[in-house]
């Protein structure tokens, strides 16, 4: 092989390797896989879902899935965590009531989605049977919740709306818990004005300690 051909060989090899790296960065492929995961979860559930079925529905090879996630569990947890993070992005409306209402709006919108209404109960059922799923799911969702609750309650404390010793995690449970129970567990419809009434009830509960400290009438 001539010297010029030898020097050109590494460049040809780099060009041949480039598509794999480029494929990893293709957001359209990732979005197709995400959509396929949620569809398969809703259709057959976590236990019967396979990487092969996800890849087939997304129109990609299995390697495209494994480039992004090393297992079915990590794939599902990563996608569910991303949604949880979007739902629990910390609002900053300038008031506790506005923040609580924004969080409830986002959570209600997510829980109304037909795929979410099927996927969430299924994942919780799988978590009850599989400790690895339970630990991973709890860790992912708790992390998303803690970042939101810390910011939201911290802002309310800074504005003087809540006492400084307010438990941020407990406060966030008070915000999300009743809505999740109604929409995901009992699957009851939300009557008109329900989110406004729930917002008022939560804010009254959270601010009662502050009112007691200052002697303000509720």
pLDDT digits (tens, 9 = 90+) for 120-139: 778 878 888 888 888 877 77
Judge contact between 41 and 118, C-beta under 8 A. Answer: yes
**112 vs 166, residue with greater confidence:** 166
Nearest to 99 by CA among 107, 91, 89: 91
Residue 198 lies in a domain: yes
Same domain, 84 and 149: yes
> How far is residue 88's CA from residue 151's CA, in Å, rounded to a whole number?
11
- For residue 190, the enclosing domain spans 77-212
Residue 2 lies in a domain: no
Same domain, 170 and 109: yes
Model confidence at 91, pLDDT cuts 50, 70, 90, reads: confident
Looking at 62-130, list the stretches that DSSP marks H as alpha helix, in order from N- to C-terminal side.
Answer: 62-68, 72-87, 96-112, 114-129
Q: Mean pLDDT, the chain, as a whole number?
A: 81
Residue 179 lies in a domain: yes
Nearest to 89 by CA among 145, 32, 33, 28: 145
| Averaged pLDDT for residues 158-168 | 94
Q: Which of 68, 89, 107 is the last residue of a domain?
A: 68
Same domain, 150 and 122: yes
Residue 218 lies in a domain: no
Model confidence at 92, pLDDT cuts 50, 70, 90, reads: confident
Model confidence at 17, pLDDT cuts 50, 70, 90, reads: very low
Residue 6 lies in a domain: no
The number of domains in the chain is: 2
Model confidence at 19, pLDDT cuts 50, 70, 90, reads: very low
Q: Which residues, in sequence order, are CB contacts of 69 under 8 Å at separation 6+?
A: 75, 78
Same domain, 131 and 197: yes
> How far is residue 67's CA from residue 65's CA, in Å, rounded to a whole number?
5
pLDDT at 14: 44
Same domain, 128 and 190: yes
Residue 3 lies in a domain: no
Same domain, 64 and 135: no
Residue 55: CATH number of its domain: 1.10.10.60
**29 vs 87, residue with greater confidence:** 29
Mind listing the pLDDT tens digit for each residue in 49-69?
A: 999 999 999 999 999 999 999
| Averaged pLDDT for residues 2-26 | 51
Model confidence at 147, pLDDT cuts 50, 70, 90, reads: confident
| Averaged pLDDT for residues 138-165 | 86
Same domain, 180 and 84: yes
Same domain, 15 and 36: yes
Same domain, 43 and 150: no
Same domain, 88 and 43: no
Residue 100 lies in a domain: yes
Same domain, 130 and 50: no
Same domain, 101 and 126: yes
Across 193-212, b (16+ Cβ under 10 Å) vs e yields ebbeebbeebbeebbeebee
> How far is residue 60's CA from residue 45's CA, in Å, rounded to a whole number?
21
């Amino acid at each position: 092989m001539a010297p010029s051909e030898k020097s050109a060989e590494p460049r040809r090899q780099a060009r041949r390797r480039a598509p794999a790296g480029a494929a990893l960065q293709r957001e359209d492929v990732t979005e197709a896989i995400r959509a396929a995961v949620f569809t398969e979860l809703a259709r057959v559930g976590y236990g019967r879902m396979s990487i092969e079925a996800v890849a087939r529905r997304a129109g990609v090879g299995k390697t495209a899935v494994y480039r992004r996630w090393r297992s079915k569990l990590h794939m599902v947890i990563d996608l569910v965590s991303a949604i949880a993070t979007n739902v629990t992005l910390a609002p900053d409306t300038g008031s506790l009531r506005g923040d609580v209402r924004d969080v409830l709006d986002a959570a209600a919108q997510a829980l109304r989605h037909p795929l979410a209404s099927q996927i969430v109960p299924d994942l919780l059922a799988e978590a009850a049977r599989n400790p690895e799923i339970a630990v991973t799911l709890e860790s992912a969702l708790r992390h998303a919740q803690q970042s939101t609750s810390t910011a939201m309650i911290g802002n309310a404390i800074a504005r003087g709306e809540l006492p400084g010793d307010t438990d941020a995690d407990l406060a966030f449970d008070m915000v999300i818990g009743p809505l999740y129970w109604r929409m995901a567990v009992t699957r009851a419809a939300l009557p008109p004005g329900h989110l406004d009434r729930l917002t008022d009830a939560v804010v009254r509960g959270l601010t009662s300690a502050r009112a007691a400290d200052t002697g303000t009438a509720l």
